[in-house]
Chains A and B, each alone.
Chain A
Amino acid sequence: MKRKASSIILNLILLVVGAVTVYPFVWMLFSSFKKNSEIMALEQHLLPQEFILDNYVNMNAHFNFVRFFLNSLLVTVVVTLLVVYTSTICGFVLSKYKFKGRNFLFGFVLSTMMIPWCVTIIPKYSMIQSFGWMDSYKALIIPAMFSGFGIFMMKQHIASIPDEIIEAARIDGANEFFIFHRIILPMAKNGISSIAIFQFLWTWEDFLWPYLVINSQEKQLLAVGLKMFNGQYSTDYGALFAATAISIVPVLLIYLFFQKQFIAGIAASAVKG
């Protein structure tokens, strides 16, 4: 009986916190079907008094959702794949090989995580310019290929793979490339999916850098596109909310798809930090 009561209370608390968490989204979603004057009106109602689809239908005038979405997807997937690969291979080398300077290198990688964006963004911008990479995806992909965080996570994760497995493969005559691609990569699956999700979210949401280096509308990314609704004298709230509503759906789907591996992956890498 006591158990049942506490179960109800606990579920109730979770539901209340959940409601608080979701409420702004509900508000945003309903507002995306309102006119701007209604969003700002003195008389506030959660449900649209005058239900309009204009914010979605007219979105393309300033916000080519499908295009931005596909661009973001392309860049994010490429960056994520690269980061997963580089993080895993660096993590493998740093955790399983012993060589002089290893600890220094790892310490350096760790410290890169602490460097604020603002320190490097200015020089990075001039470098990209002098490389002639402006307005191309090279500028988004190449500087993002390695991630200090990813290497750190994968080193921790791969350290938990027993050395015996690697030794056994070596005795069977496998070379290191084979060991990495056929043994380590599959065994690091959980670590990889957590890195993948982190990296996916970061790249997906990153704003300042793509904004600075991408000029053409047709190459622009979703997160930057959302800023388009901010005008000189006013913000088009209805359109902003509509665009936000549809742009979070894909990310949420990816999370829902992978949440099991994600959680297992974090468990395997971070807990042992």
Chain B
Amino acid sequence: MFKKTHPLQSKSEIILRNIVVTVMVIYFTIFLVVPIGIAFAGSFHEWNPLSGTYNFLGLANYIEVFTSGLFGKSMLNTLIFSVVVIFFRVGLGLAIAYAIYSTLVKHKSFFRAVYYMPVVTPMVAVAFVWKFMYNPQIGTINQIFGLDVNWLMDPKTALLAVMIMTIWKDFGYAVVMYMAGLYSLPADALEAAKVDGASAWQTFRYITLPLLKPMTLFVVITSIISYIQAYVQILIMTEGGPGTATYLASYIIYDEAFVKYNFGYASALSFVLFVITAVFTWLSFRVSGTEE
């Protein structure tokens, strides 16, 4: 089945390799390649499983995707949403992780646990809690800051409000990731910097930060993948409103697929989104200069 390329291969290695590779290929074929193929074919059709419609449309679904003002707007929202949330997730995560890591802070696991709480709480529940906190009359946020803002209904603040909630929910993930990164820093590099008389900021800027780059890349990429797919917070907090001010790309897909049952159009949207995700992921690899 496989050509022998390694002179030292034992029989058991070949058996194990063949089993693993075969199972992997079969598995990914059934649960990924085939569904993707079906969805891809479906994206060229008018496809509604409930009425049993499956008519060939050619490129019509894709043309609709690219001419739909709503999709363009939602892509822009998705872009703003992802960039801002990732920026703060990474920034806040790094700053807090570095603070906890510092010898000046004692109760390290206490803080780690506290910041991680929102990460493990289901989005459905926290979205409802935050919806209450944003309420213009009875919400905690207006009460504490003495404001009179209709957070989720004002087109200027609605997306911002959802982003703040998402940052709150997710920054703990970055904290833990960076903690892990910091603990595995080579002690000798930091020691050497100290001996050379580098200031705390210089050490951070020229030694710690570059050494944490792989971790940053990891956090950024997993974030891109998950934020391009975010929809639950929109579903619960704004339903895309006011008007269409907070539509995100995944929310449209959810709406088209499981509310309107336009599976064909939803599939076309998904593929466009997939390509965009892939491009951005590739870009972040490029920007970081890591090639693998």
Asked if B271 contacts A259 (CB within 8 A), the reply is no
Q: Helix, strand, loop or mixed for chain B's interface?
A: helix
**Which residues does chain B contribute within 8 Å of A241, judged by CB atoms?**
125, 128-129
Let me know if B58 is at the binding interface, CB within 8 A. no
- Number of contacting residues on A, CB 8 A? 87
Let me know if A240 is at the binding interface, CB within 8 A. yes
Most A Cβ at <10 Å: residue of B32, B42, B133, B290: B32
**Which residues does chain A contribute within 8 Å of B118, judged by CB atoms?**
21, 24-25
Asked if A271 contacts B184 (CB within 8 A), the reply is yes
Q: Helix, strand, loop or mixed for chain A's interface?
A: helix
Contacts A14-B99, A273-B217 given: A22-B128 contact, CB under 8 Å? no
Partner of B180 from A109, A223, A267 at Cβ < 8 Å? A267
Asked if A22 contacts B181 (CB within 8 A), the reply is no
**Which residues does chain B contribute within 8 Å of A31, judged by CB atoms?**
132
Most B Cβ at <10 Å: residue of A31, A93, A113: A93
**Which residues does chain A contribute within 8 Å of B215, judged by CB atoms?**
270-271
Asked if A123 contacts B42 (CB within 8 A), the reply is yes
**Which residues does chain B contribute within 8 Å of A57, judged by CB atoms?**
none
**Nearest B residue to A251 by beta-carbon distance?**
B120
Let me know if A272 is at the binding interface, CB within 8 A. yes
Let me know if B176 is at the binding interface, CB within 8 A. yes
Contacts A14-B96, A146-B24, A267-B181 given: A116-B257 contact, CB under 8 Å? no
Chain B nearest CB, measured from A262 CB (Å) = 7
**Which residues does chain B contribute within 8 Å of A123, judged by CB atoms?**
34-39, 42
Residues of B200-227 contacting chain A, CB below 8 A: 214-215, 217-218, 225
Let me know if B196 is at the binding interface, CB within 8 A. no
Chain B nearest CB, measured from A16 CB (Å) = 11
Chain B contact patch, size range: 35 or more
Chain A nearest CB, measured from B161 CB (Å) = 14
**Which residues does chain A contribute within 8 Å of B49, judged by CB atoms?**
122, 126
Let me know if A233 is at the binding interface, CB within 8 A. no
A-B CB contact pairs (8 Å), 15 listed: A20-B168, A42-B138, A105-B21, A108-B28, A109-B24, A113-B225, A114-B225, A118-B266, A120-B39, A121-B257, A240-B125, A252-B113, A259-B112, A266-B180, A270-B215
* B interface residue numbers (CB < 8 A to A): 2-3, 5-6, 8, 10, 12-13, 15-17, 20-21, 24-25, 27-28, 30-32, 34-39, 42, 49, 96, 99-100, 102, 104-106, 109, 111-126, 128-130, 132-133, 137-138, 140, 143, 168, 172, 176-177, 179-181, 183-184, 214-215, 217-218, 225, 228-229, 232, 250, 253-254, 257, 263, 266-267, 269-271, 273-274, 277-278, 281, 290, 292
Going nearest first, the 10 A-B pairs with the smallest beta carbon separation are: A123-B38, A267-B184, A123-B35, A244-B125, A175-B12, A266-B180, A120-B35, A7-B104, A267-B180, A176-B12
* A interface residue numbers (CB < 8 A to B): 3, 6-7, 10-11, 13-14, 17-18, 20-25, 27-28, 31, 39-42, 44, 89-90, 93, 97-101, 105, 108-109, 111-124, 126-127, 143, 145-146, 170, 175-177, 180, 201, 205, 207, 223, 226-227, 235, 237, 240-241, 244, 247-248, 251-252, 255-256, 259, 262-268, 270-273
